[in-house]
Amino acid sequence: MKREPRPLSARQEAVMAVVRSWIIEHGHGPTIREIGARVGLSSTSSVAYQLAQLEKRGLISRTGREWSSCRL
């Protein structure tokens, strides 16, 4: 029996929207601080956690260690 994927949390939706729009506007992913500023998170570790959760789900990926190299 196949499990249905859990829906994204409101915060994950917000992070995804920022990443998506930033890539469209700038051609590359935003930094953790840029994401935090747009979604109202001052803790970079909170932003990194949300990005890691999205990466784990296969919704984003990155080519290097930096999140600014992420892509959809």
Average pLDDT for consecutive 10-residue bins of the chain (72 residues)?
Answer: 80 95 92 95 94 93 77 76
Domain-located, residue 42: yes
pLDDT score recorded for residue 2: 66
Helix (H) or strand (E) holding 26: helix 10-26
**Tokens 């953790």, located at residue:** 32
Q: How many domains does the chain have?
A: 1
Domain-located, residue 53: yes
Domain-located, residue 60: yes
Q: How far apart are CA 12 and CA 1, in angstroms?
A: 27
Domain-located, residue 11: no
| Domain, as residue range, for 50 | 25-71
| DSSP strands (E only) in the chain | 61-62, 70-71
Domain-located, residue 33: yes
Say what the pTM is: 0.85
Domain-located, residue 43: yes
